[in-house]
Structure 1
Amino acid sequence: MGAPIVASAERNAMKPLFFNNVAIEAVAYVLPTKVVTSTEIESQLAATMARWA
């Protein structure tokens, strides 16, 4: 068996795109409505981590 045949359009779609003279126009972020501490996450994972130990 040879290599699978890939259609020309599909082969071109897999190539990375490179641009010149590009600038970032804006940067935005959103703060979460609920803050979760590491302690809360560790307590939720404690039973799972105990099984893996």
Structure 2
Amino acid sequence: MSEKMYEPDSDFQYSDAGFCIIQQLIEDVCGKPFTVLMNEHIFETLHMKNSTLE
């Protein structure tokens, strides 16, 4: 198996799995669903009354 080599900052690779793990970790630590936490800590704090996350 050959591995591609890139110069630093020359390529970006997105990993949805990493964000899913972070979301689950936040839910586990806080004991609340991620949508509730987003509403409490992001949307309400920033007075974003027309924003949702479903």
TM over 0.5: no
What TM-score results when the alignment is normalised by the length of structure 1? 0.27
TM-score (norm 2): 0.27
Would you tell me which structure has more helix in proportion to its own residues? 2
Q: Indicate the structure (1 or 2) with the bigger Cα radius of gyration.
A: 1
Structure with more contact order per residue of length (Cα contacts < 8 Å, sep ≥ 6): 2
